[in-house]
Amino acid sequence: MALMWASFVLLTLIALLFVVVPFFKRERIQRLDHNANSELIRIYHQRLDELKTELDNQRIDAQMHDESVIEQKRRLLNELSPEKALNSKGNNRIFALTGAGFLIVLTAIFYGYTGSQQQIKGWHDAMANLKSYGERAVMQEGEPLTPNELQAFALALRTKLDQSGDDEVAWMLLGRVAMSLNEFDMAMQSFDKVLKMNPDNKQVLISYSQVLLMEGSDANMSRAATMLSRVLKAEPTNIDAISLLALIAYERKDWLQAKTAFEVLLASMQQNDPRYSMIAERIAEIDAHLNNEQQATNTELAKATNSEISITVDLDPALVDSQPQNGTLFVFAKAASGPQMPLAVVKMTEYSFPLTVTLSDTNAMVDGLNLSSVDKIILTARLSKDATVVTSSGELEGKSDVLERANVKEYSLLINELIP
């Protein structure tokens, strides 16, 4: 601070030199004796008298006389010009002092409007109150810190860290203050510093997880879950870590894990705790989600069961010798009209006739295009040579007639055709 003010004074003195010195320099160069000017004036009048005498004696004409008079006046003015500077000699110091005063006043006004004296004062106050800020923030002594005091506390902590080097506690405090100010980037940078010095600092791992959850991206939630798992591995009953993991599971809609974590929290609280009812409501909400999911699963299972068709496939004895070597058996269902993509497919590379397969919605190739989505179907069994469902010459196939899907639960399908 002292160095800054010394620099201000030095710069002001240099500026004053540029303002003051020219006045005194001019006075020294153009100093002239007053008697010399009197002599010049006397000579001037003498020369005018001589010119008049010459004009009267007709040695020169009137035009030459007038021109000579003008020349004498010009010469006198040129020779008397230093005396004008001499006449201002007594005012040079006033001009210099006025210029210096104006420069100082202008500088003071300019700095008052554009300078950072308030910020500098605030920085001094922050450094002076660093200890009391720490006691109020950490020890919970006195009134909670206001937002402005939190800003000052962060400034003082940054200054302390800059002056004294890395300090685990100071970095941790700075991260928590930054969290309170919603300065998440500063908080994460501060916590990173702490974890470099002490990777197992549980308090920082939990606080860092809170920052990552506030940011809210999937990547950061996964990172937070990893940090909390490290805490719980060392301290399985850490309530703060369990609480944050419960929130992560809830955000991810992992209802079972969320319910387990919230139940652990609930068991650790007294019923008069204000958080007890809130967590109980959250568990009830999760139970509702789980019931809905179970109902949806049951519906899907029922739907899939209703769409199941048990197909017995056999091969015509006349085509036994025509089977492709290392063939692949496809059993599938297509819509009688509409998209030609199979609604359900079973593929087998090892088989022996007769055999039974089951087609259902679980064998669909595309979501939304399954057995339950159509009313009329055609069943097909094909022995393929190239392990693809596309037909080619020499393959064996058997097809059903058009069937009402809802009425078909079992069906016998005979492979009885050689594709030319």
352-386 confidence digits (pLDDT tens): 999 999 998 888 888 778 888 888 999 999 999 88
Burial of 278 (0-12, 13-18, 19+ CB in 10 A): exposed
98 backbone dihedrals φ, ψ, rounded to 5°: -65, -45
Residues 6+ positions from 187 with CB-CB distance below 8 Å: 175, 176, 178, 179, 207, 208, 211
Query: Within 10 A of 141 (CB to CB), how many other CB atoms are there?
Result: 10
For the chain, the maximum distance between any two Cα atoms, rounded to a whole number of angstroms, is 165
Region 228-253 average pLDDT: 87
Residues of the chain with CATH 2.60.40: 308-418
Q: Assign 236 to helix, strand or coil.
A: coil
288-337 confidence digits (pLDDT tens): 888 888 887 766 665 655 678 999 999 999 998 889 888 899 999 999 98
Q: Is residue 266 within 8 Å of 280, Cβ to Cβ? A: yes
Q: Is pTM beyond 0.85 here?
A: no
What is the structure's pLDDT at 345? Answer: 92
Q: Average pLDDT of the chain?
A: 79
Region 30-53 average pLDDT: 74
Q: Distance between CA 355 and CA 331 in Å, rounded? A: 11
CA 257 remoteness from chain centre:
30
Cα dihedral angle (242, 247, 248, 254), rounded to 10 degrees?
A: 100
Q: Distance between CA 206 and CA 194 in Å, rounded? A: 13
Domain covering 308-418, topology: Immunoglobulin-like (2.60.40)
Nearest to 323 by CA among 313, 314, 315: 315
Nearest to 86 by CA among 41, 126, 161, 32: 32
| Most confident of the following: 56-65, 98-107, 112-121, 313-322 | 313-322
- The CATH number that domain 121-289 falls under is 1.25.40.10
410 backbone dihedrals φ, ψ, rounded to 5°: -135, 150
DSSP state of 190: H
pLDDT(86) > 60: no
Residues of the chain with CATH 1.25.40.10: 121-289
Q: Distance between CA 213 and CA 224 in Å, rounded? A: 7
Nearest to 94 by CA among 2, 24, 195: 24
Q: Is residue 378 within 8 Å of 411, Cβ to Cβ? A: no
Written as one letter, the residue type at 196 is K
pLDDT(414) > 90: yes
144-171 confidence digits (pLDDT tens): 777 777 777 777 777 777 777 777 888 8
Written as one letter, the residue type at 189 is Q
Element (H, E) at 379: strand 376-384
**Beta strand segments in 64-212, E:** none
Q: Specify the residue for token string 């989505």.
A: 373
